[in-house]
Amino acid sequence: MTRSLVTGATGYIGGRLVPQLLEAGHDVRVLVRDEAKARAREWSDQVEIAQGDATEADDVRRALEDVDVAYYLLHSIGTGSGFADAEQRIAQTFADAAQDAGVRRIVYLSGMVPKDEELSEHLRSRTQVAQTLLDSGVPTAVLQAGVVIGSGSASFEMLRYLTERLPVMVTPRWVHTRIQPIAVRDVLRYLTKSADLPDDVNRRFDIGGPDVLTYLEMMQRYAHVAELPRRRVLPVPVLSPWWSSHWVGLVTPVPAALARPLVESLRNTVVASEHDIADYILDPPEGLVGFDRSVELALTRIRDLDVPTRWSSAATAGAPSAPLPSDPDWSGGTLYTDERTREVHASPEKLWQVIDGIGGDNGWYSWSLAWEVRGLVDRFLGGPGLRRGRRDSARMRVGDAVDFWRVEETDGHAFVRLRAEMKLPGLAWLEMRVGQADGGTTTFHHRAIFHPKGLLGHLYWWSIYPFHGIVFGGMQRNIARAAESLEERRYSPGR
């Protein structure tokens, strides 16, 4: 049995690769910073979880012990200036540890690199990481993909929202760049089967689908598959990546910090120069998935609420990371709280059903305008805003993004803690707890927590405190009413 290590296992590709490897008979170990996020995955009881930081050589060495194939799915895209240096350091640490551990093969998913073009910083960094791994002394397969089409990928979400929300589009020059997109299921097939490449294979492979399109053609074909009217285009000769990324950030759920490296990469032609991978991994009898079919498959998953991972599955760059608000680390410091408890005339199950579906399309059950304005301000400041939505509209799991929050802890039936990833002068959490009261009713405990950073943090808390009654009080009241309504329908099915 092949023992495989998957890094980035709670991210978009890694979270989908793990079950593919398990199905192929691999013994899988995952290296994650947050064990709780891995434990929340459906496959967690079938893998070995190694908690550690990929920047720490000792953690990486421990994770690579007795490993045959190591999947390197780490990147620092969207972390701001200096991300290329960070990626290079992490790759070198991983390469050295893999060599020391006697790993048989490394598999790295990279970006397709055009010839004779000035590369974007993102593609240039991917190329440098690839070379570091190829020079490690461990046989390495570098799979170079262009735009990945699949439900929940950042590239697909960007394409989807730009097309759906803008019937008339002002477009920069990069919409005429030629691209060879690939379906996520083909990417996963190549990754899985790369574990069995001969030991003497140490090289890059271009992987792409059967279609070569411009980004504009991709938008028009998306509109056709999604049964939307043909989009009208107003070209703009000059629109810098900075402006383009903010434009994308305003229109799509992808924040500007992540959109910018994606947009900059779209200036480069990403068309495969070879298909040598077919000499080792045969194309399926039905052929690779075409662009239109990959869009159909992605939209079907979205409609069926069957999106196992999203781009937001990975931790948000620059998001706060801190001890839990109950930890002793806060002793001696200021911790503001707003606590409210309400009696609800509904079962704990119905109340939790409403809480578990909060955010996204279901909203926040209070002053909608205030939430929308806060979301717009956050996006303007470079945060995720509200458009990130949810992976699953009915159930939260640890690590999920919920608008500008991240699920930090949940037991799945009575308690959830959300950590704010919006731009704030401090750290913030929102807790909701369901309990059983005397007399058969249910208690709903709601707590907002804020740890200020500097004077600005204190001023921020006291400036918004007068609105807590409207926002949090209304939120608790309306969640309770929604649960009571569900309870009434439970006993009045004809209503």
Contact criterion met (CB below 8 Å) for 179 and 270: yes
CB-based contacts of 85: which residues, under 8 Å, 6+ apart?
A: none
When pLDDT is averaged across residues 212-229 and rounded to a whole number, the result is: 90
Q: What φ, ψ does residue 301 adopt, rounded to 5°?
A: -60, -40
Which of 253, 279, 313 delimits the end of a domain? Answer: 313
Q: What is the pLDDT of residue 36?
A: 83
pLDDT > 70 fraction of the chain, expressed in percent and rounded: 85
The full 3-state SS of 169-230, as one line of letters, equals EEECHHHHCEECCEEHHHHHHHHHHHHHCCCCCCEEEEECCCCCEEHHHHHHHHHHHCCCCC
At residue 376, φ and ψ (nearest 5 deg) are -65, -40
Residues 294 and 399 in one domain: no
Cβ–Cβ contacts within 10 Å for residue 25, how many? 8
* Residue 166 sits in the same domain as residue 102: yes
How far apart (Å, rounded) are the C-alpha atoms in residues 421 and 403? 9
Asked whether the beta carbons of 91 and 129 are under 8 A apart, the reply is yes
> Which residue, chain included where needed, has tokens 């993909």?
145
**Cα gap 221→83, rounded to integer Å:** 34
40-56: burial string, b at 16+ Cβ within 10 Å, e else:
bbebbeebebbebebee
The domain of 391 spans 328-491
Q: What is the pLDDT of residue 488?
A: 82
In a domain, 247, yes or no: no
- Whether 193 and 271 map to the same domain: the answer is yes
Same domain assignment for residues 369 and 273: no
pLDDT at residue number 375: 85
Rg (CA), the chain: 24
Could you read off the pLDDT of 294-348 as tens digits, one per residue?
999 998 888 776 777 776 666 544 444 444 554 434 444 578 889 999 999 999 9
Nearest to 442, CA basis, from 341, 365, 338, 339:
341
Whether residue 147 sits in one domain with residue 33: yes
Maximum alpha-carbon separation in the chain = 75
Mark which of 258, 284, 313 sits at the end of a domain. 313
Q: Which residues contact 375 (CB under 8 A, 6 or more apart)?
A: 385, 386, 387, 403, 404
Contact 24, 48 (CB under 8 A): no
474 assigned to some structural domain? yes
* 8 A C-beta contact, residue 61 and residue 27: no
Angle, helices 215-225 vs 291-303, to 10°: value is 50
pLDDT for 109: 95
376 within a domain of the structure (yes/no) = yes
Report how far residue 190's alpha carbon sits from residue 145's, in angstroms, rounded to the nearest whole number. Answer: 11
What pTM, to 2 d.p., does this model score? 0.75
- Poorest-confidence range of 236-250, 389-403, 467-481? 236-250
* Number of domains, the chain: 2
Q: Are residues 57 and 31 in the same domain?
A: yes
The DSSP secondary structure of 56-86, one letter per residue, reads: -HHHHHHHHTT-SEEEE----TTS-TTHHHH
401 and 485: one domain? yes
Q: Is residue 254 part of a domain?
A: no
Verify that 297 and 389 share a domain, yes or no: no
Residue where one domain finishes, among candidates 313, 343, 376: 313
Q: Which of 152, 133, 139 is nearest to 74 (CA)?
A: 133
321 in a domain, yes or no?
Answer: no
Q: Is 398 helix (H, G, I), strand (E, B) or coil?
A: coil
Is residue 146 within 8 Å of residue 180, measured between CB atoms?
yes
pLDDT score of 225 more than 90: yes
What distance in Å separates the CA atoms of residue 366 and residue 472, rounded to the nearest whole number? 7
Alpha carbon 447 to chain centroid distance? 27
CATH code assigned at 77: 3.40.50.720
pLDDT one-digit tens code per residue, 272-299: 999 999 999 999 999 999 999 999 999 8
74 and 107 in a single domain? The answer is: yes
C-alpha 438/C-alpha 161 separation (Å) is 48
- Size of the chain, expressed as the number of residues it contains: 495
In a domain, 318, yes or no: no
Q: Which residue has the higher pLDDT, 326 or 418?
A: 418
Rounded to whole angstroms, the Cα distance separating 223 from 168 reads: 12
One domain, residues 61 and 170: yes
Q: Say if residue 368's pLDDT is above 90.
A: no
DSSP calls for 101-165? HT-SEEEEEEE---SSSPPPHHHHHHHHHHHHHHTTSS-EEEEEES-EESTT-HHHHHHHHHHHH
The candidate with the shortest Cα–Cα distance to 153, out of 298, 315, 289, is 298
Q: Is residue 253 part of a domain?
A: no
**142 belongs to a structural domain:** yes
Residues 219, 166 within the same domain? yes
Query: In this predicted model, what pLDDT tens digit does every residue of 178-215 receive, in sequence order?
Result: 899 999 999 999 999 999 999 999 999 999 999 999 98
Name residues whose C-beta falls within 8 Å of residue 106's C-beta, 6 or more positions apart in sequence: 69, 70, 71, 72, 95, 98, 133, 136, 138, 139, 140, 141
Q: Is the dihedral of CA 485, 487, 488, 489 positive or negative?
A: positive
CA dihedral 184, 189, 191, 193 (to 10 degrees): 180
CATH number at residue 353: 3.30.530.20
Whether residue 391 contacts residue 400, with contact meaning beta carbons closer than 8 Å, is answered with: yes
pLDDT category, 257, cuts 50, 70, 90? low
In a shared domain, residues 298 and 332: no
